[in-house]
Amino acid sequence: MIVNKDFITRNASRTWAFFLDLIFPIECLGCGREGRWLCEDCFKKINLKPKQYCLHCKKANDFGQFCLPCQVIYSLDGVWIAALYDELLISQAIKKLKYYFLSGLADDLSRLMILSVDKLLEQGRISKFGLRSGVDWSNFKRAAGLPLAVLNFYDNLVVPVPLSRKRLRWRGFNQAELLARRVAEKYGLELNSGNLIRVKHKKAQAKLNEIHRLENIKNCFV
């Protein structure tokens, strides 16, 4: 007998979702209204305009780039912040997604990420006429200060942070991949889940401070 693994996985996920719905009925984390994990009213209360800054020295900037002196420490050009973890709804949603296995929250959190990216892209929008015609010097000057992630946004590759095999078996899904897939689909970007590999299982980051988190993930990826 031929067994379709995708069919088994899909139906197992549906069965698991059914039992989760019995145990954790879908109610808004903010007001308790039934039907969605974040109702529209509560979703709109989330601050979608957090200050972007250099993640190392905390100096404010427009697009979360690392400052020139700080770039030598990191391999990344910068980090975009969609919302603040200090907001109760955000922290609740992330914890429910990761530790209560409520994968449906990926829809709300990815929507939040998409709205944040939209705002950053609009903020960095450059007049195509100005760039092509050569008559609008202000556009050229403005473009010089934009990170490549904004200027060449649709050339970006989306790579979710992988989980260790142990944690993936425990959770049943990679929350980063759920979010990344939705964002990639929205903008038509390529999603690559295979090139970044986690080679070490470490303790959860949730209860660690910033310094210990950096130490905890050293040499975890190849």
pLDDT of residue 125: 76
Please report how many Cα atoms fall inside a 13 Å half-sphere around the Cα of residue 119, on the Cβ side.
18
Top-confidence residue, 19 or 163: 163
pLDDT band at 181 (very low <50, low <70, confident <90, very high): very high
Comparing C-alpha atoms, which of 123, 102, 160 is closest to residue 48?
123
Computed on alpha carbons and rounded to an integer, the radius of gyration of the chain in Å comes to 20
Q: Look at residue 9 and tell me whether its pLDDT is greater than 90.
A: no
Encode pLDDT of 198-214 as tens digits: 888 877 777 778 778 77
Encode pLDDT of 138-151 as tens digits: 555 566 667 878 87
Cα–Cα distance measured from residue 135 to residue 123, given in angstroms and rounded to the nearest whole number: 21
Domain ranges of the chain: 1-45, 46-216
Top-confidence residue, 200 or 14: 200
Encode pLDDT of 84-126 as tens digits: 999 999 999 999 999 998 999 999 999 999 999 999 888 877 5
Q: Look at residue 20 and tell me whether its pLDDT is greater than 70.
A: no
pLDDT of residue 219: 82
Top-confidence residue, 198 or 15: 198
- Beta partners for residue 221, in sequence order: 198
